[in-house]
Chains A and B, each alone.
Chain A
């Protein structure tokens, strides 16, 4: 792996580093918020940062917050003509310098889907673009993939560094830190980083090589197979246990669907963007009452279809999934997306 600079970051130096950096930028790190839940949260003193476990939520909230104001509006009576009212719009796209510390390669691959959709397409999303540009990503390479991980099946890997600015490989006593981009290099200038000894660089390479290989899903031509299965009973059977809630989409690093609602308050209010889920009935419900996807089977067909057929077709083969396995763990009925894909490749 060609790296610009290689240094070492001692374990005990991390809280100090994060505290110092949070003076100049918003620092997000995986924080333990209950016995079993770790989420990416703004680092504050005394927060219990956890690196040895996959966070329950992906870090997509850093560039795509679950609630975000698009604009605020204020009506006012026109003094000259009281029957007329004026409206004043106010909006600003602000993105503070941000550091995302401790995201895993699958989380970073999820952010790449946001990049493709929100910043490379025909229409750009200014706030996601601004936040993406303002964010430095320190990825933590994954030495202990979980039983539900399948990143190698969707173009990722536990040791991938694309999309990150700085990569940390766990070694004894800390992490070997390799800069991937200029942003990573400037970050390495912080005093918390000390020159890495050869022994540590060797250990890092050994650790990366030793990561257990996952069995890869047979996804060849999955795009066409899913289309062929469109009007079959396959989807009713696959989605039978599904309860059509929003858990799988909200914990997914690559899910970016959103809703826009006006929230009025007296003479003013705001127009906000919030996460939405294709699994909700109201997602495609039209004012006339018609719903092109009235049952969970159609909605589930669209969810899998989008991630493994429509998105790859529209975005040069990039899957709408980074194989993190959160949807499997978070699903109240343990629906396994890998099993659905295996069945699709045999039935398709």
Chain B
């Protein structure tokens, strides 16, 4: 792998060739390998389960491969499977390993050093995606062809928020690396930009913001079922009647309660993979709710989830003297 800055296209082709070669070697001992194939139109990739050598040809790799495929792993316990994962996805694997929800020896991980994936909602806001005829990538842009013509948009303007401040482009755990590793290219400072946007609002504006955004939530639980750490989705507290946390009504009250419940159940665990916001069919910006907790936990305990499997999550432990916690005096 030479380090000459090759065009995005060439790099993607090289990475894909690397992936296919690794799978050809590994597929024998695996139930399947989970990757991406082209979806229902050139703008949408879709998770794809490679079961035979013939399937390998359908694999793709480009900035449209947005899904965090590790959310399938907890339900596949007991079967040896291959998984292709980006840097951010690998943090989910580390977190799942740390919590004992998957076994390392049941995984063949093909890691991809990733330069960023798109945010479909951002693209949909700028392009009429009802009829996509072709999508291609140039050095720094995505070109989308529709019956109304060809539109070229700088990639940075439609990248997912998590990618704009990506600190872990190269997977933290892998068996094969499908490209040259490289370190963070993006400013860490932008990590909590969206959170700060909300923090600037006063309390009444925040209340109004969440009321407006969550009003269109349809309680379909795509955000929960897409989350790699929501392993108890079949017996979820949100639908429990004992304890009866909240009703089945579709009022804003219940929708806010669910978002808080999901965020709190991810406190000190969420690896900022963005699946919750990406999966939402109503494009509701909910990732910043989980990211707010990540920000507080980083400040309080200097801790980031999904980095080192040996770590103990901060809320699983304590210090007798907590340097960063100042209790209220009366």
Establish whether residues B249 and A243, one from each chain, have CB atoms under 8 Å apart when the complex forms.
no
With contacts A243-B225, A282-B239 known, is A35 near B121, CB below 8 A? yes
In the complex formed, the residue of B with least CB distance to A261 is B248
In the complex formed, the residue of B with least CB distance to A265 is B247
Which of these binds chain B: A4-12, A123-131, A333-341? A333-341
Least CB distance from B210 to A in Å reads 13
Q: Does B251 contact A (CB under 8 A)?
A: yes
Q: Does A241 contact B (CB under 8 A)?
A: yes
Establish whether residues B279 and A274, one from each chain, have CB atoms under 8 Å apart when the complex forms.
no
Distance in angstroms between the alpha carbons of A145 and B215 in the assembled complex? 28
* Residues of A participating in the B interface, judged by any CB pair closer than 8 Å: 33-37, 39, 53-54, 56-57, 66-67, 144, 146-148, 237, 240-241, 243-247, 249-251, 259, 261, 263, 272, 274-275, 277, 280-282, 328-330, 332-336, 338-339
* Residues of B participating in the A interface, judged by any CB pair closer than 8 Å: 32, 39-41, 44-49, 51, 67, 71, 121, 124-125, 128, 130-132, 213, 215-216, 218-222, 224-226, 233-235, 239, 241, 247-251, 275, 278-279, 281-284
With a cutoff of 8 Å between Cβ atoms, the chain B residues found around residue A39 in the complex are 216
With a cutoff of 8 Å between Cβ atoms, the chain B residues found around residue A259 in the complex are 248
With a cutoff of 8 Å between Cβ atoms, the chain A residues found around residue B225 in the complex are 243-245, 332
Distance in angstroms between the alpha carbons of A250 and B283 in the assembled complex? 15
With a cutoff of 8 Å between Cβ atoms, the chain B residues found around residue A339 in the complex are 40
Jot down 28 A-B pairs with beta carbons below 8 A, ordered by A: A35-B121, A37-B283, A57-B218, A67-B250, A147-B40, A148-B40, A237-B51, A240-B49, A244-B225, A245-B224, A246-B218, A247-B218, A247-B220, A274-B248, A274-B249, A277-B220, A281-B235, A330-B281, A332-B225, A332-B275, A332-B281, A333-B47, A333-B67, A334-B39, A334-B40, A334-B46, A335-B46, A339-B40
Establish whether residues A263 and B40, one from each chain, have CB atoms under 8 Å apart when the complex forms.
no
Establish whether residues A36 and B222, one from each chain, have CB atoms under 8 Å apart when the complex forms.
no
With a cutoff of 8 Å between Cβ atoms, the chain A residues found around residue B44 in the complex are 334
Interface of chain A, main secondary structure: loop
Least CB distance from B165 to A in Å reads 21
Establish whether residues A35 and B222, one from each chain, have CB atoms under 8 Å apart when the complex forms.
no
Establish whether residues A251 and B218, one from each chain, have CB atoms under 8 Å apart when the complex forms.
yes
A-B pairs with beta carbons under 8 A, tally: 133
Establish whether residues A246 and B71, one from each chain, have CB atoms under 8 Å apart when the complex forms.
no
Distance in angstroms between the alpha carbons of A263 and B251 in the assembled complex? 13
Least CB distance from A12 to B in Å reads 23
In the complex formed, the residue of A with least CB distance to B38 is A334
Distance in angstroms between the alpha carbons of A148 and B48 in the assembled complex? 20
Establish whether residues A332 and B279, one from each chain, have CB atoms under 8 Å apart when the complex forms.
yes
Distance in angstroms between the alpha carbons of A241 and B48 in the assembled complex? 7
Distance in angstroms between the alpha carbons of A335 and B279 in the assembled complex? 12
Distance in angstroms between the alpha carbons of A328 and B281 in the assembled complex? 11
Least CB distance from B240 to A in Å reads 9
Establish whether residues B222 and A56, one from each chain, have CB atoms under 8 Å apart when the complex forms.
no
In the complex formed, the residue of B with least CB distance to A331 is B281
Establish whether residues A247 and B121, one from each chain, have CB atoms under 8 Å apart when the complex forms.
no
Least CB distance from A236 to B in Å reads 10
Least CB distance from A213 to B in Å reads 14
Given A36-B121, A272-B249, A329-B281: 8 more A-B contacts, CB < 8 Å: A34-B216, A57-B218, A237-B51, A241-B49, A245-B279, A274-B248, A282-B234, A332-B275
With contacts A35-B125, A243-B226, A245-B226 known, is A66 near B250, CB below 8 A? yes
